[in-house]
Structure 1
Amino acid sequence: MDRRTASDNSGRSAELKAPARRRLLGAATILLLPVIPRVAMAAKLLAVRTWPAEDYTRVTLELDSELRAEHFTLENPHRMVVDIQGMEMNPALNDLVRKVRPDDPYISSLRVAQNRANVIRIVFDLKQAIAPQVFTLKPVGDYKFRLVLDLYPKVAQDPLTALLKKMPQKKLDEDPLARVLNDISNNPKGTGMTAMPVIPNSVAPATGPSSPGKSPTPLGRRRMVTIALDAGHGGEDPGAIGKGGTREKDVVLAIAQKLKARIDATPGMRAYLTRDGDYFVPLHVRVEKARRVKADLFVSIHADAFPRPTAGGSSVYVLSERGASSTAAKWLAEKENSADLIGGINIQTQNQQVAKILLDLSTSAQIKDSTQLASNMLDQLRNVYRLHKPQVENAGFAVLRAPDMPSILVETAFISNPTEEQMLRSAQTQDRFAVAMHTGIQQFFRANPHLASTG
């Protein structure tokens, strides 16, 4: 090999090795760059809300990302401490302090502070011992991630006891059994009780005015009947919202309260509200509450919504054994059955077996009685406003699956219809719906005296 050839080969070898050297130098440069630790971004607090009620108080923190929280309780005095990871102090947390209401049954006050890096501590000063539930919810509907703090009483009050405590003496005098139960609840250990009152085989004749203050219409000799009134939605779940901002949960609670006043003014009848304020009640708990107070009827009250704003009119639904009676009915039932997701149920602690038993025991006899009640109700509602459909509709509403009482769901009007939204805001119209439903209930018991017979 001559010198020129050797020189050429050497040059080509150097050219081939150059890219490799450049790659190696580049890699070395990358390795020599300083390693910058990644700093976790603190979650952004979007909103804080409180929902105080006799049943329980709920506190909700809505954030843009999911968080973890740890909690524990203390005694003497009663407190709950919650450590939220992934948060820094934020002016919005001051809103939580301001949202504590003086009449909250559980929270006296609260304090918020930075406990340590990336951890916020909330200390709740409590009015009584609690059994808390703390859980997170994934984004659903208009909500992002939610951290939910539910403060339940350590000893929950029985719904029947609560009902009796709120009954006026006049009503207790009408119902001898209620008097006995009320005495027992007020004297759990028998203190001050000398003898058990004798319960007669019949009570005074029950009557039913169509509105408070009017002369009563005889209904025959009956025991006290209990009507469970279920105002749909509540708390975190506003239900449907009209174009003008009217919330379904507010309208239906107002109607339920007006209907309760009329039922309570009817001798031989009393009403029980599954929700008497603005707070969330899971669907199966609504059914369970009605059963605990030995309700004879269950009436769930709603204000319909539909994608088409021209849809309108009143409707009455009963549970379907074979599917929905229309596409719209199926769509509505699916929407209403999603209330637990919107309202925020603690799935981890929900007793799925008990819920399944409550929701799967409906009978043909119950559906038959429910259909008759719905027909009576529909006949009365047509006097208030036009009907969406002239017949009772069927759909798989979870809240109607009580096995031992006639149950119906009343859609008073379409809140998604601007004209009907305005109508639903009117106290006079709300009262007219209450009168119609009250009359429908009375007609049902006149046609079915055996369901309200003395025992």
Structure 2
Amino acid sequence: MRSAHSKYINIIIMFVLLVFAAQTFAKNAINNVRIRPSAESTRVVFDLSKKPEFSYFVLQKPLRLVVDFENTKQLPKLPAIPKKHRVISKIRYSKPKKKNATRVVFELNGPTKPVIFALAPTGSSSNRLVVDLYGQKKAAPVKSTNKKRELKRDRDIVIAIDAGHGGQDPGSIGPSGTFEKHITLQIAKRLAKLINKEPGMSAQLTRSGDYFLKLNTRTAKARTRRADFFVSIHADAFSSPKPRGASVWTLSLRRANSEIGKWLENKEKQSQLLGGAAGVIKDTENEKYLAKALLDMSMDHSMKTGFQVAEEIVSELKKVAKLHKKRPQAANFGVLKSPDIPSILVETGFISNPQEERQLKTAYHQQRLANAVFVSIKRYYQKNPPDDSLFARLKEQKPLHHKVKRGESLSLLAARYGTTVSALKKVNRLKNNTLHIGQVLTIPKA
């Protein structure tokens, strides 16, 4: 009896162990796979019972993306890929390296950039693993005889210039009856003329005459024209005639956070800003934090750029005018609210001050103010040009120089700049390795 009893106990223990082992080794499962294909990108979503543990890598010849799910039971059948699809040709299983794991292979039609991330359950959605695949077009070789087409790719940096007020909105009115709307338009036109004369830059006026524009229309026009930067021209005023001086304003952090919230709620605005990324982030209810992350990054870049240009303008304005504020100021101005376009507001002086009103009416002072703003914006973009701009190519072609400091040697400088001692000696016509403090060296291209 004891022997039979022991036998039954052993069977029960083994059964429990098998059940436990099955639960341990297959603690996760792929319940569904969804595919959202398009001509240039694809999103594949794996719905899982638990949080995925995964890794991935890319294989060449043929091109494949391999995703390994740890301790995961596979779905019996994977969905087929539409024939017209251009990024993926097939999704299939392959033998994993570890037991109880699942290996999914994406057969790719060409160079592809994978972006893979996990999403926690939200609402009716379970745990998910999202695989975004972006097709990368191969660059066609540029023929040496096709120089004109190559130059066209060196685009202008577009500066949107907003003349404050206009039409039925005169803005502030000076003691002798000068309207702010006229002063701002005159300075804006002078600034536009300077920008349009500069190779690699072009200006776009939000208004070119005496008419009224809403604040939203001003920034929308800048966005339509794909502006890299937005500068709004104004003239300050106060109840007392005493205050005077110019100032430069940027967006406050409080206003920035408020605007991000508005853009997240407005899907049309979100699409305008995110462009192609908006097509990837389709499920904004469940994946809103992804859109917010992109908006945050865009706003951070805009605010940083705006502040840096504002600092440049303040340093130039003090050469031609009295300053009311010696540092850039932050405010909630409605015109400074675009997450995607760095923006500043320039108060050119106090029109309520009789002396500054007279100055602001003169062509001489207007030109000096416009020149200060132009020089500052140009200087910033010469240092920080957009990759596809003419300024970027000119910066690459410009020789790099280094002023020798105490303790520096040719070998140290060669290592720092990614070149060789012999190349440094050749381009600088050096007969030996001796350097002198204060000596200026030309650094050859790596």
TM-score category of the 2 structures, normalised to the smaller one: 0.3 to 0.5
TM-score by length of 2: 0.45
